[in-house]
Amino acid sequence: MDNVIPNRYRQRTMTRTLQDVIRAYDASATTDRAVTIPSAWYTDPRIHALERKAVFGSSWQWVGRLEQLREIGRYVTASVAGEPIVAVRDRKGRLQAFHNVCRHHAAAVCSLPEGKASALRCPYHGWTYGLDGRLEGVPQFESARDFDKSEFGLVPVRVDTWADFVFVNIDGAAPPLNEFARPLIERVAAFDLDKLRFAERRSYELACNWKVYVDNYLDGGYHVPFIHKALGSVLDNAGYTIENEDRVCVQTSPIRPDRGDAETASVRAGDTALYVWLYPNFMINCYEGVMDVNLVLPLALDRTLVIFDFFFADGGSIEDHEREISIKVAERIQHEDMDICESVQRGLSSRAYDVGRLSPRREAGEHLFHRLLYNDLNAALDGS
Ligand code: FES
Ligand SMILES: [Fe+2]
């Protein structure tokens, strides 16, 4: 039995301090020798708490689409690192983002996912903020002493855009978005984003840690022939490529000219499928005339929300019924991924598992993800 988990790993599972759990991972190993991050990273609430600050709080996080924010007063709300955020177009036409937290008693000022308002009024006691975040209306405060309205505006958050995508960085220390996401921006440019139009959003809740879903995305097509039979039949898995750059992993797969499953083939056109991941939780998937964008949000240690925004080429080249089929195909693939991710989460809680090995041919993206995580968590330990 002692051979089931090598002793060096078993020792790691028995250690207790957060520092030990993080530093059990060896970020210096090459992919052909590396092991995965330890299973404790997927099950330990201390890791989950540290990730909020060190991973989600310090990176650029996607909060909405620019087309939702074109007119003055339009806003979107989001949760970033577990904190409520609102992005809004102000009266001068500037895009602004704030902590969506009332300066009175901390209620969410904007409580809908998106909307349009002439001012941002808190639903709790009616404090009203301008679209630029300034506190304007404060009912029942006439006799308050030492109270200066100008000190109680909404707290701003750094916001930036690329193409149709609005991102925020809540700790304010990330490199500029065009630098943070540069390899992604360059690779996706070839897909003519200007011609794509948003069609629909769908969300999925999974019983797994968010990293299980990202790992699955980054296994370089390893699981495709086993888990996604229909998709696998239209991709040439032997020609799959995986490239890492900075915080980005680019995966491509040739699409088979002879095609497999007819329904999948009808909506997965072109020569190449392109799958681009931006650390930590943003993905863009492109086929000819079809794109979906995914955001992976931790709801709890073992609950994850995955948001899919579907886009299609403008100009009628893709008919309505094809859009429906395309979304149906994506949804079937998503359910296949969800089932296996939930299975993995159960396994990660088993005493029989601590770490796994990586396929050097396939899992370099996953290896990049683990090292980036390690860097952020380890740096936060040093800073805390
Ligand atoms: S919490 Fe917003 S007005 Fe009281
Ligand atoms: Fe998959």
Do 207 and 142 fall within a single domain? no
Confidence of residue 2 (pLDDT cuts 50, 70, 90): very low
The verdict on residue 258 lying in a domain is yes
Q: Which of 86, 98, 101, 105 to mutate to test the pocket of ligand 1 (most atoms within 8 A of CB)?
A: 105
pLDDT at 7 over 70: no
Query: Atom 3 in ligand 1: which residue has the minimum CA distance?
Result: 125
Contact 97, 157 (CB under 8 A): yes
Ligand number, closest to the Cα atom of 121:
1
- Grade residue 384 by pLDDT with cuts at 50, 70 and 90: low
User: 164 and 81: one domain?
Assistant: yes
Q: What is the pLDDT of residue 5?
A: 54
If asked whether residues 365 and 344 sit together in one domain, one would say yes
Residue 104 Cβ contacting ligand 1 at under 6 Å: yes
Assess whether 261 and 218 both reside in one domain. Answer: yes
Specify whether 154 is located in the same domain as 83.
Answer: yes
Do 138 and 218 share a domain, yes or no?
Answer: no
Q: Are residues 286 and 357 in the same domain?
A: yes
Question: Ligand 1 pocket, 116 CB below 6 A?
Answer: no
The rounded distance, in Å, linking the Cα atoms of 231 and 282 is: 21
Q: Which band of pLDDT confidence, cut at 50, 70 and 90, is reported for residue 1?
A: very low
The last residue of a domain, from among 125, 152, 169: 169
Distance CA 306, CA 279 (A): 15
- At 123, give phi and psi (nearest 5°): -75, -10
Which numbered atom of ligand 1 lies nearest the CA of 109? 2
Specify the number of domains making up the chain: 2
- 32-54 pLDDT, tens per residue? 999 999 999 999 999 999 999 99
69 Cβ inside 6 Å of ligand 1: no
Stretch 80-87: mean pLDDT, rounded? Answer: 97
C-alpha 138 to ligand 1 mean position (Å): 9
Among 169, 203, 221, the domain boundary falls at 169
Tell whether ligand 1 has an atom less than 6 A from the beta carbon of residue 312.
no
86 with 227, same domain: the answer is: no
CB 105 less than 6 A from any atom of ligand 1: yes
The answer to whether position 55 is within a domain reads no
pLDDT score at 105:
98
- Residue 123: which H helix or E strand, with range? none
Range of the structural domain that residue 363 is part of: 178-369
Q: How far away, in angstroms, is 94 Cα from ligand 2 center?
A: 39
203/285 same-domain check: yes
Where does a domain end: 144, 169, 194?
A: 169
pTM of the model: 0.94
Other beta carbons within 10 angstroms of residue 313's beta carbon come to 16
For ligand 1, atom 1, which residue shows the shortest CA distance?
105
Q: Tell me whether residue 110 is in a domain.
A: yes
Give the mean pLDDT of 217-244.
97
Residue 212 lies in a domain: yes
Q: What is the DSSP string of 78-119?
A: EEETTEEEEEEE-TTS-EEEEE---TTT---S--SSEEE-SS
Structure tokens at 295: 């955001």
Same domain, 246 and 129: no
> Measured from the CA of 107, which atom of ligand 1 is nearest?
1
Question: How many other C-beta atoms lie within 10 A of the C-beta of residue 316?
Answer: 8
pLDDT at 16: 78
Residues forming beta bridges with residue 78, ordered by sequence position:
85
Percent pLDDT > 70 in the chain is 95
Provide the CATH number for the domain around residue 363: 3.90.380.10
140 and 109 co-located in one domain? yes
For residue 157, give the CATH number of its domain: 2.102.10.10
Residues 266, 309 within the same domain: yes
How close are the terminal C-alpha atoms of the chain, in Å? 39
With a 6 Å cutoff on the Cβ, whether 152 touches ligand 1 is no
Residue 71 has pLDDT above 90, yes or no: yes
Condensed to tens digits (0 to 9), the pLDDT of residues 154-168 reads: 999 999 999 999 999
